[in-house]
């Protein structure tokens, strides 16, 4: 068999690099979604959020979710929101480490507990080269607890970072061996 061309080598290296990109998509509130009935504080406990992960908010089309600063989080103030998602589904990529604050666009719901604070870890190994842009719209129709029993939970999307790193390392090693011996 002949030598691999530069195009083949680059393609193999890109494939190996793609294996190292690992992000988790979290469905906020799991099957309850972004809703006043969700215990969002308990939902976030035990989860490790990293740069590159995505928060997926599912809610009714009459509601919204806003990313705000800490002072606005504490007072449920949306007038200075950094971002507001509407339409029933909003994906927000976590693009920087630190504290992130999300509140309901409805002040009464926010005061009632429909708000979320997450701490995002700086995880260079697992962050993708570029995170997707936040999107609103209808990935799925707006959900409620009674008509959406197949909503995936965060656990269904969870990938173990350490295991993925091992797999990616093995992929790089296999790519290297393929290039050397062919």
pLDDT, the chain, mean:
75
Q: Which of 148, 154, 160, 147 is nearest to 40 (CA)?
A: 154
Tell me how far apart the 2 most distant CA atoms of the chain are, in Å.
70
pLDDT above 50 (res 145): no
Q: How confident is the model at residue 134 (pLDDT cuts 50, 70, 90)?
A: low
Q: For a pLDDT cut of 90, what percent of the chain falls above it?
A: 53
Residue 151 has pLDDT above 50, yes or no: no
Question: Other C-beta atoms within 10 Å of 145: how many?
Answer: 13
Helices (H), the chain: 6-20, 40-44, 70-75, 107-111, 154-157, 161-181
pLDDT digits (tens, 9 = 90+) for 19-45: 445 789 999 999 999 999 999 999 999
68 pLDDT above the threshold of 50: yes
Confidence class for position 160, pLDDT limits 50, 70, 90: very low
pLDDT of 148 strictly over 80: no
H-helix segments, 50-157:
70-75, 107-111, 154-157
Q: List the 25-27 sheet strands across, edge first.
A: 25-27, 54-58, 89-93, 135-137
Residue 101: pLDDT band (50, 70, 90) is very high
């Amino acid at each position: 068999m002949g030598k691999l061309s530069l195009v083949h080598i680059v393609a193999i290296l890109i494939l190996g690099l793609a294996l190292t990109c690992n992000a988790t998509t979290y469905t906020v509130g799991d099957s309850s979604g972004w809703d006043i009935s969700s215990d969002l504080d308990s939902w976030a406990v035990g989860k490790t959020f990293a740069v590159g992960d995505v928060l997926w908010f599912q809610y009714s089309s009459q509601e919204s979710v806003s990313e705000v600063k800490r002072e606005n989080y504490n007072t449920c103030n949306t007038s200075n929101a950094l971002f507001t998602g509407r339409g029933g589904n909003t994906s927000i990529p976590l693009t920087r480490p630190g504290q992130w604050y999300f509140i309901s666009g409805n002040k009464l719901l926010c005061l009632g507990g429909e708000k979320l604070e997450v701490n995002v870890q700086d995880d260079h190994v697992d962050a993708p080269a570029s995170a997707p842009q936040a999107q609103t719209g209808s990935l799925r129709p707006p959900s409620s607890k009674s008509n959406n029993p197949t909503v995936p939970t965060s656990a269904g999307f969870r990938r173990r970072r350490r295991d993925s790193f091992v797999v990616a390392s093995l992929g790089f090693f296999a790519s290297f061996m393929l290039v050397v011996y062919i």
